[in-house]
Amino acid sequence: MKERLEALKHEALEQLSKVADAGQLAELRVKYLGKKGALTEILRGMGSLSAEERPVIGQIGNEVRSAIEALIEEKQAHFERLETEARLAAEKVDVTLPGRPLRQGAVHPLNQVIQQIEDIFIGMGYSIAEGPEVETDYYNFEALNLPKNHPARDMQDSFYLTDDLLMRTQTSPVQARTMEAMKGEVPVKIICPGRVFRRDDDDATHSFQFHQIEGLVVGKKIRMSDLKGTLLEFTRKMFGANTQIRLRPSFFPFTEPSVEVDVTCMKCGGSGCRVCKHTGWLEILGSGMVHPRVLEMSGYDPEEYSGFAFGMGVERIAMLKYGVDDIRYFYNNDGRFLQQFARV
């Protein structure tokens, strides 16, 4: 038995010394020291030994067990150390590498233009009003003097949700909403930035959705000259101190008289170039004196009160101001385009 124990020790230590990984080590531990392992197997024969032999063999058995255990532990520690080293190597941070730059976001050019326009009008005493993007037929059309079946509705192809609800085609409905909410009080002096929707083709200058800014002033003795002065002040702040404006007669159902407003081309200063199609002028907004019927429908007596209104497309202003020739750049979210408008 003593020889078998010595042989087992020899074999086990030899096997253990060649063990390649923690998995193999666990297998060897079971094989030699497990409940059904080789050592237990040999020691099971102790029952047949004499009383003198038993403690001697018992002691040898213990020594063999300790020797095997010691080597297993040593190997176990070795593998754990290897594992830790491998993990540390894999997780190593090279602090000498250059950092990855964090890309910084910026305010979208359309929002920059909206904020700029808001600032200019707030500086002139206006407040900001808002209205819903899903609008009723009444506010989008009827309250603006566009009765059902009126041919001027054709100017704006619309997305209808029901017979009575549509995606607003303009920010003008906020005029009627604001006047109603003011219940005949003056002055009304608001601008309303917002998104509008039209059943338009998508091309370089059209989009099914875009932004407008509406303006409305109602009070006593508001005149066309107030409108002109206001717009001149606005365009000079927006496009430069030398800007001139020109009013051309036009038609909008909610204003009378109506005008379209041009500014001197910011590219050539009015001498004529490709951008202004050699006219020296660029159209930037629609405007006019609030139609008496619009005032009346929203609770203002046109005999006592008058007002002016205007509406402009934010994309168009941004395209002119920055020389962008395709409206779709604003919506594609291409960082190379947007980054050019980032302010540091």
CA distance 81 to 77: 6
**Closest residue to ligand DAH, Cβ-based?**
311
Nearer to ligand DAH, 24 or 136 (CB): 136
In the complex, the smallest distance separating the C-beta of residue 174 from ligand DAH, rounded to whole angstroms, is 10
Q: Shortest CA distance to 32 belongs to which of 2, 64, 59?
A: 64
In the complex, the smallest distance separating the C-beta of residue 123 from ligand DAH, rounded to whole angstroms, is 20
Amino acid at 286: G
Element (H, E) at 166: strand 165-167
In the complex, the smallest distance separating the C-beta of residue 287 from ligand DAH, rounded to whole angstroms, is 5
Nearer to ligand DAH, 135 or 214 (CB): 214
Nearer to ligand DAH, 235 or 255 (CB): 255
b/e per residue 128-139 (b: at least 16 CB within 10 A): ebebeeebbbeb
CA distance 301 to 298: 9
- Binding-site annotation: residue ranges: 256
Q: Contact 314/213 with Cβ under 8 angstroms? A: yes
Provide the binding-site residues for ligand DAH, judged by CB under 6 A.
170, 172, 214, 252, 255, 286-288, 309-311
Nearer to ligand DAH, 65 or 316 (CB): 316
Contacts by residues 202-206 (CB-CB < 8 Å, ≥ 24 positions apart): 202/328, 204/325, 204/326, 204/327, 204/328, 205/316, 205/319, 205/326, 205/327, 206/327
In the complex, the smallest distance separating the C-beta of residue 258 from ligand DAH, rounded to whole angstroms, is 6
Q: Dig out the tokens for 82 from the structure.
A: 């290897």
In the complex, the smallest distance separating the C-beta of residue 162 from ligand DAH, rounded to whole angstroms, is 22
- Binding-site annotation: residue ranges for Mg(2+): 256
Other Cβ atoms closer than 10 A to 6: 13
